[in-house]
Structure 1
Amino acid sequence: MKVSLMPVGDIDTVVKDAGVAIHENISNLNVIDEKTGGIILFITASGRDIVIQSKKKLIRLVVHDSERPSQTDIILR
C-alpha cells in the first residue's frame, strides 16, 4: 500500500473538529514518530482519507490503491 504525506496547513489556521478523517480501507492505523519510535496516534475508524494532527501541523495521508489492510503503520519523518 502506498501512502503520501502532505502538509495541509498549520493547526492554528486549519482547524478540524477531531483533526481526523480516516480512509475507508484502513481499520487500524498507528502513526509513529521516527525520531522517538513512539506511537503518536492510534486510530480505528472509517472514512475517505486521513488527516492527523502532528505537533504544529496537520498532515493528510492519502492511500493510493484499493487494498484493504487491517492495520497500517505510518512513520512521520
Structure 2
Amino acid sequence: MRKRVVLDSSAIAGATYDSERRTLVLEFREGDTYRYFAVPQFAFDALLVADSAGAFWNGVKDNYRYELLD
C-alpha cells in the first residue's frame, strides 16, 4: 500500500511510502526527488512525527540505498 504525505518541513515537501516494496520517495523543496530502498515502516513513522523531518532524515539516510529520480 502506498501512502503520500505532505510534510510541514523546510527541507522536505512530501513523502510517499510503499509498505509492500518498502520504498520511500522524498520530494525535497530544493527540487530533487530521491527513492530510498529497504526502508522499514518504523523509519517512515518516525519521519512523520519528528520535530524536524529534514534533520531526522539527514541522520538516518545513509542506512538506505537510494537513487535520484528525474
TM-score by structure 1 length? 0.30
| Structure with greater proportional strand content | 1
Output the TM-score relative to the length of structure 2. Answer: 0.31
Instruction: Report which of the two structures shows the higher radius of gyration computed on alpha carbons.
Output: 1
Greater fraction of residues in helix: 2
Structure number with higher relative contact order (C-alpha < 8 Å, ≥ 6 residues apart) = 1
